[in-house]
Chain A
Amino acid sequence: MKRLHLERLANPQLLALVAVLLINWALFPNFFRISWQDGRLFGSFIDVLNRGAPVAILAIGMTGVIATKGVDLSVGAIMAVCGAVAATMVVAGYPTPIAVVAALAVGIACGLWNGFLVAILDIQPIVATLVLMVAGRGIAQLITEGSIVTFNEPSLIFIGTGSFLGFPMAAVIALVLMILVTLLVRRTAIGLFIQAIGVNRAAASLAGIHSRMLLVLVYALSGFCAAIAGIIVAADIRGADANNSGLWLELDAILAVVIGGTSLLGGKFSIPLAVVGALIIQAMNTGILVSGFRPEFNLIVKAGMIILILMLQSPLVGNAAGFFKRDTRQAGSK
């Protein structure tokens, strides 16, 4: 039992995160230096938590979707829509809580639409969510009328740049959301049902699982998470940028989930490891910024690291490692 626990701690995702952070530290000795400034923690490592939060939040929702053998390509566009809704509403004079609730409601509505297409109309998830991925940004541009809607409402800005006990608000929100959603799926049977749908939806339905309703729910959760990320990103720059908010972040979120060990073929999943995946991606981004590489190398460095991390998780590499272990054991028994 104890050994199992140790093995879980030594999983490839956490090792990869530690490795990336150590590489950053080697390239930039002050990487872990954290100071206290204006009532908040200040340092590169804090940046990783803060900047990684939006993708981590997307990954929380995306994990559920991918576990059902689906994918949600629309989260980046939903971020843009929800950021636009929140920003235009506070500019129009609505109080922040109402604007935030409205933006969250719009995110859930977008998720329900995806769920409707996937679960009720049985459209393939990649096609169904592509609809909003393309149309969503247009909707966001309609809401902002093509310009960046800037605002100065302190309570909304707090969501993006404020701090709680010194930690950036965005990271705190991501942590709380991760704990809540993990408890929701692990302390109830929902996680098992999601896994069952991912492995074999027909069999799950025959076994009495309301697969339609659950599918709609996971897409709604993904939309909800995207809405939170969208509000954070808009609050961070004090403006809703319909063209660029969340652009390509759906791919980062999918990558985070995959690094977290969840298969695109559905089934077994882990939300905390997807969040670790998001932090790995951000640790690389921040590392590139402080290390002083030329920007032309950004994507090459990232791609190289990701290939390495994914290779470590490949069954072939695992088998090879197992083969060598067996080999030494046999040698020892002789």
Chain B
Amino acid sequence: MTIISKLAIAASLATALTSVSIAQENLSGLVVGFSQIGSESGWRAAETSVTKQQAEALGIDLKFADAQQKQENQIKAIRGFIAQGVDAILVAPVVATGWDDVLTEAKEAEIPVILLDRGVDAPEDLYLTSVASDQVKEGRVAGEWLVAEVGDADCKIVELQGTVGSTPAINRKQGFEEAIAGHANLTIVRSQTGDFTRAKGKEVMEGFIKAENGGADICAVYAHNDDMAVGAIQAIKDAGLKPGTDIKVVSIDAVPDIFAAMVAGEANATVELTPNMAGPAFEALSAYLADGTEPEKFIITESKLYTPADNPQGEYDTRKGLGY
């Protein structure tokens, strides 16, 4: 790729991901504290870098604090932000409980708090709004795609679940099952956990292929995240089958590597879990600071479906630099 086309992509990325409406000019010069959970996954790293990009584009002075998976660090960071007298606080809470005290302190200091990506068990008046994805909907979008894709043909589906008992695994399973319910030609024949990892996704898929007549009986694999799908794709190839053709691959998250697989024709669809939680958060903050508009308590981000028709090479290039 030439430098010029790279620059063009970078520029289009900047406009696409950080489209700043004129209405948000009032945020320029503000100081916003951001308490992030950590960097346990590529998605989390991407959320951090998108948030920083958004803030920079809006002229916000973003104070970033990495909690390294510990609530006590987050509470410390938030108290620090309050002491510094920031104009607003963004928090991606690591756990749901134990926030009442520190959120009350922020409220008393009249600093609006916006929750990103996860919710908390605290009175709703303690925070301005929360921005999160609807995980059930993500599963439903994936299921609806498969229903439309196979039409009336019979389709035996194998499912790679996330970590047993985790909220995304429960919700993404539920949404997918809702979407295929009422379509008797689609059945989930096997379902096991791949712990959201590539290695386990590959191992579990190997087992499924052996168990289902060398993979000949499997029509599609639904993975609760892209990483497991990437592992499953390798297992399908090792078994001498063509992923994307012999076995359809649908998953959730939209990380760069699934777009690379789409370019190679090995993945069929992914549902985006957008790393851009900060965009809607800053929009809500801007409206609130301008004329006191109370935003909705729960802002739901879009769960966009991507297929090979959506320029996977371009998506790969734009996302690769986000730290996934």
**Which A residues are closer than 8 A to B by beta carbons?**
28, 30, 35, 37-38, 42-44, 47, 51, 141, 145-148, 150, 161, 233, 236-239, 241, 243-245, 247, 285-286, 288-290, 292, 294-296, 298
B199 touches A (CB below 8 Å)? yes
* B227 A47 Cβ-Cβ under 8 A: no
Residue of A nearest to B42 (CB): A147
Q: A37-B239, A237-B202, A295-B192 are in contact. Are A150 and B257 (CB under 8 A)?
A: yes
* B208 A289 Cβ-Cβ under 8 A: yes
* B323 A236 Cβ-Cβ under 8 A: no
* A42 B195 Cβ-Cβ under 8 A: no
Q: A236-B202, A237-B199 are in contact. Are A37 and B193 (CB under 8 A)?
A: no
* A298 B45 Cβ-Cβ under 8 A: no
Residue of B nearest to A161 (CB): B238
* B198 A239 Cβ-Cβ under 8 A: yes
What A residues does B164 contact at CB under 8 A?
A: 295-296, 298
Least distance between B30 CB and chain A CB atoms (Å)? 28
* B199 A233 Cβ-Cβ under 8 A: yes
* A295 B191 Cβ-Cβ under 8 A: yes
* B323 A145 Cβ-Cβ under 8 A: yes
Q: A237-B231, A295-B161 are in contact. Are A243 and B40 (CB under 8 A)?
A: yes
Task: Give bound CA distance, A37 to B237, whole Å.
Answer: 12
What B residues does A233 contact at CB under 8 A?
A: 199
9 A-B residue pairs with Cβ-Cβ distance under 8 Å, sorted by A, are A28-B211, A43-B210, A51-B203, A147-B45, A243-B41, A289-B192, A294-B191, A295-B161, A298-B193
Residue of B nearest to A42 (CB): B239
Given contacts A292-B190, A296-B164, 12 further A-B contacts (CB under 8 A): A30-B211, A37-B240, A38-B240, A47-B206, A145-B323, A147-B45, A147-B324, A243-B40, A244-B196, A247-B197, A292-B211, A295-B164
What B residues does A145 contact at CB under 8 A?
A: 323
* B42 A245 Cβ-Cβ under 8 A: no
Residues 214-243 of chain B: 1 if any A CB is under 8 Å from the residue's CB, otherwise 0? 100000000000010011001000111000
Residue of A nearest to B48 (CB): A146
State how many residues of chain B have any CB contact under 8 Å with chain A: 35
Residue of A nearest to B163 (CB): A295
* A146 B207 Cβ-Cβ under 8 A: no
B39 touches A (CB below 8 Å)? yes
Point out the residue from B193, B202, B208 that lies within 8 Å of A295, measured CB to CB.
B193
Q: How many A-B Cβ pairs are below 8 Å?
A: 84
Task: Give bound CA distance, A296 to B193, whole Å.
Answer: 9
Least distance between A31 CB and chain B CB atoms (Å)? 8
B142 touches A (CB below 8 Å)? no
Least distance between B205 CB and chain A CB atoms (Å)? 9
What B residues does A286 contact at CB under 8 A?
A: 207
What B residues does A43 contact at CB under 8 A?
A: 210
Task: Give bound CA distance, A145 to B234, whole Å.
Answer: 24
What B residues does A237 contact at CB under 8 A?
A: 198-199, 202, 230-231, 234
* A44 B207 Cβ-Cβ under 8 A: yes
Point out the residue from B42, B199, B211, B324 that lies within 8 Å of A290, measured CB to CB.
B211
**Which B residues are closer than 8 A to A by beta carbons?**
39-42, 45, 161, 164, 190-193, 195-199, 202-204, 206-208, 210-211, 214, 227, 230-231, 234, 238-240, 257, 323-324
Q: A147-B324, A236-B202, A244-B195 are in contact. Are A47 and B39 (CB under 8 A)?
A: no
What B residues does A241 contact at CB under 8 A?
A: 197-199, 227
Least distance between A219 CB and chain B CB atoms (Å)? 26
Task: Give bound CA distance, A42 to B323, whole Å.
Answer: 37
Residue of B nearest to A237 (CB): B198
What A residues does B257 contact at CB under 8 A?
A: 148, 150, 239
Least distance between A62 CB and chain B CB atoms (Å)? 20
Residue of A nearest to B322 (CB): A147
Residue of B nearest to A30 (CB): B210
* B208 A146 Cβ-Cβ under 8 A: no
Q: A38-B240, A145-B323, A295-B164 are in contact. Are A236 and B199 (CB under 8 A)?
A: yes
Task: Give bound CA distance, A43 to B39, whole Å.
Answer: 38
Least distance between A253 CB and chain B CB atoms (Å)? 16
Task: Give bound CA distance, A159 to B41, whole Å.
Answer: 26
What B residues does A35 contact at CB under 8 A?
A: 214
What B residues does A150 contact at CB under 8 A?
A: 257
What A residues does B206 contact at CB under 8 A?
A: 47, 51, 289
* A289 B207 Cβ-Cβ under 8 A: yes
* A47 B193 Cβ-Cβ under 8 A: no
* A238 B197 Cβ-Cβ under 8 A: no
Least distance between A161 CB and chain B CB atoms (Å)? 7
Point out the residue from B45, B202, B211, B239 that lies within 8 Å of A146, measured CB to CB.
B45
* B42 A146 Cβ-Cβ under 8 A: yes
What A residues does B198 contact at CB under 8 A?
A: 148, 237, 239, 241, 244
Residue of A nearest to B169 (CB): A295
Task: Give bound CA distance, A247 to B39, whole Å.
Answer: 16
Q: Which among A30, A35, A146, A288 has the greatest number of chain B C-beta atoms within 10 A?
A: A146
Closest 9 CB pairs of A and B: A289-B207, A295-B193, A244-B197, A237-B198, A290-B211, A146-B45, A44-B210, A146-B39, A147-B42
Task: Give bound CA distance, A111 to B219, whole Å.
Answer: 46
Q: Which among B199, B230, B240 has the greatest number of chain A C-beta atoms within 10 A?
A: B199
What A residues does B210 contact at CB under 8 A?
A: 30, 43-44, 47, 290
